[in-house]
C-alpha cells in the first residue's frame, strides 16, 4: 500500500516507518519537525535499503495537507503526529487542543476530500485516566485526567462519530501503554528534547552520564515494592502492532479499539534493576514524592489484539532495556551526535 505516516520522523513513527518499508509498503512521511529531526528518517532508509518520501509540513496547514494528498495519493494513513508532554499540556492547553485536535480535523478533512478513509490513530492508555481497576480493557470508560489525555479522548470520539456517520471509514484506535526500547541495531531510538518526561529515557541518560540520578516518584504506593507499576512495551513490538492493525482494517470497515501492551506490569525498581543489568553498571536513584496525577498501577488486557490481530508483544523487559541502552550508548546525545 501507499501509506501516509504523519509524525513519521518521531520516536514511534520512525520505527513503524522502518517496518512498513521492510514489509514492502511505499511511505510518505509528513512531519513539522517540532519534536524530531530528519536524521531518524535517513537512518530508517539506511537500515531498510529503501527510500520514503518526506514532506516537512504542519497539520495546521490545510493547503500543505491538500498538496500531500494530491501529489502522493496515499491509500491509508497512520497518524502519529501530535504533542505528547503531559506537563506542557497542563501549562498550554490551547496549544495542545489546537495542535492535536484541530490538526487531526484538518487531516480527516483532507482524507475525506481525497477518498482516503483508512486510518490508524495513536491513542494512549492515558485515556483510562486514574482507573484503579486492572487490567485495563477497551470497553472501560475513558476518563483522561489532563489536557494531553483529553486530546486523545476527543480524537477517539471524533473518529468514532465519523465511523458511525459514514460506513466507508476503516478506523483503528490503538491505545499504547508505555513504549520503550529501540531498534536492535541501535541506529534509531528515542531522542527526547530537554529533560525527559518518561522513565526509560531518563534512566538511559543517567546511565550514559548525562544526568546524575533518577528520582523515583513515590515509594509508598500499594504495590509490591511501593513504586509505580506500568506495562512497558518494546517499540518494535508496537511497530508490528501497527502493521497488524493496518492489515485488519484495510479489509474491514468500522471503528476498532485495541490496547497495545504486554499485559505485564513492572515497577520502577524492577526497571532500574533491569536497566542496570543491561548497562553493566548501577544506575543511581533516590526516592522522591509522588508525581501528581500518577496512577499506582497500569497494565493492559491485550487479549483483544491477540485474538483479532494475531499480534502480541513478545519482547521482555530485559530486551527493552538492552535495546534502549544499545541506542543510548551508541548515540549519547541522540541524533545530534553524529550522522
* Adjacent-strand bridge partners of 136: 300
Catalytic residue among 11, 96, 128, 148: 148
Q: Is 86 in the site for ligand WQD (CB under 6 A)?
A: yes
148 labelled catalytic: yes
Whichever of 98 and 277 has its CB closer to ligand NAD, that residue is 98
Whichever of 36 and 259 has its CB closer to ligand NAD, that residue is 36
Whichever of 217 and 316 has its CB closer to ligand WQD, that residue is 217
| Contacted by 197, from ligand NAD, ligand WQD, none: CB < 5 to 8 Å by type | ligand WQD
Closest CA to 138 of 319, 321, 322, 300: 300
Q: Is 128 in the site for ligand NAD (CB under 6 A)?
A: no
Position with the least CB separation from ligand WQD: 228
Q: CA 137, CA 245: separation in Å to the nearest integer?
A: 17
In this structure, what C-alpha cell is assigned to residue 70?
494530491
Q: CA 221, CA 324: separation in Å to the nearest integer?
A: 27
Closest CA to 104 of 85, 120, 92, 88: 120
Q: CA 275, CA 164: separation in Å to the nearest integer?
A: 45
Asked, as a colleague might, if the bond just before 169 is cis with ω within 30 of 0, I would say no
Q: Is 230 in the site for ligand WQD (CB under 6 A)?
A: yes
Q: CA 125, CA 242: separation in Å to the nearest integer?
A: 16
Q: Is 104 in the site for ligand NAD (CB under 6 A)?
A: no
DSSP code per residue over 271-298: HHHHHHHHHTS---EEEEPPPTT--SEE
| Smallest gap from residue 176 Cβ to ligand WQD (A) | 6
Q: Is 126 in the site for ligand WQD (CB under 6 A)?
A: yes
Whichever of 94 and 251 has its CB closer to ligand NAD, that residue is 94
Q: Is 336 in the site for ligand NAD (CB under 6 A)?
A: no
| Smallest gap from residue 236 Cβ to ligand WQD (A) | 17
Size of residue set near ligand WQD by CB under 6 A: 18
**Binding positions for ligand NAD, rule: CB under 6 A:** 7, 9-13, 31-36, 58-60, 80-84, 99, 103, 122, 124, 176, 179, 198
Amino acid at each position: 500500500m501507499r501509506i501516509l505516516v504523519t509524525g513519521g520522523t518521531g520516536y514511534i513513527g520512525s520505527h513503524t516507518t522502518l517496518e512498513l518499508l521492510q514489509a514492502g509498503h511505499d511511505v510518505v512521511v509528513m512531519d513539522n519537525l517540532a519534536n524530531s529531526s530528519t536524521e531518524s528518517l535517513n537512518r530508517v532508509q539506511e537500515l531498510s535499503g529503501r527510500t520514503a518520501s518526506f514532506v516537512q509540513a504542519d497539520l495546521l496547514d490545510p493547503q500543505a495537507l491538500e498538496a500531500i494528498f494530491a501529489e502522493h495519493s496515499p491509500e491509508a494513513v497512520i497518524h502519529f503526529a501530535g504533542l505528547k508532554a503531559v506537563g506542557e499540556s497542563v501549562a498550554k492547553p490551547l496549544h495542545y487542543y489546537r495542535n492535536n485536535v484541530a490538526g487531526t480535523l484538518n487531516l480527516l478533512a483532507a482524507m475525506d476530500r481525497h477518498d482516503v478513509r483508512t486510518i490508524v490513530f495513536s491513542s494512549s492508555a492515558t485515556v483510562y485516566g486514574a482507573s484503579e481497576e486492572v487490567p485495563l480493557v477497551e470497553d472501560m470508560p475513558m476518563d483522561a485526567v489532563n489536557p494531553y489525555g483529553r486530546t486523545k479522548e476527543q480524537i477517539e470520539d471524533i473518529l468514532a462519530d465519523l465511523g458511525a456517520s459514514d460506513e466507508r471509514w476503516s478506523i483503528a484506535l490503538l491505545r499504547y501503554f508505555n513504549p520503550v526500547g529501540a531498534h536492535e541495531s541501535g541506529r534509531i531510538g528515542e531522542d527526547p528534547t530537554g529533560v525527559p518526561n518518561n522513565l526509560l529515557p531518563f534512566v538511559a541518560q543517567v546511565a550514559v552520564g548525562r544526568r546524575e540520578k533518577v528520582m523515583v516518584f513515590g515509594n509508598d504506593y500499594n504495590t509490591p515494592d511501593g513504586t509505580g507499576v506500568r506495562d512497558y512495551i518494546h517499540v518494535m513490538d508496537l511497530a508490528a502492532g501497527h502493521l497488524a492493525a493496518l492489515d485488519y482494517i484495510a479489509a474491514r470497515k468500522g471503528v476498532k479499539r485495541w490496547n497495545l501492551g504486554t499485559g505485564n506490569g513492572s515497577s520502577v525498581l524492577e526497571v532500574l534493576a533491569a536497566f542496570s543489568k543491561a548497562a553493566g553498571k548501577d544506575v543511581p536513584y533516590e526516592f522522591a514524592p509522588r508525581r501528581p496525577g500518577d496512577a499506582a498501577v497500569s497494565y493492559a488486557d491485550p487479549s483483544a489484539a491477540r485474538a483479532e490481530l494475531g499480534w502480541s508483544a513478545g519482547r521482555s523487559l530485559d530486551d527493552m532495556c538492552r535495546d534502549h541502552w544499545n541506542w543510548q550508548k551508541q548515540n549519547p546525545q541522540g541524533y545530534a551526535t553524529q550522522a
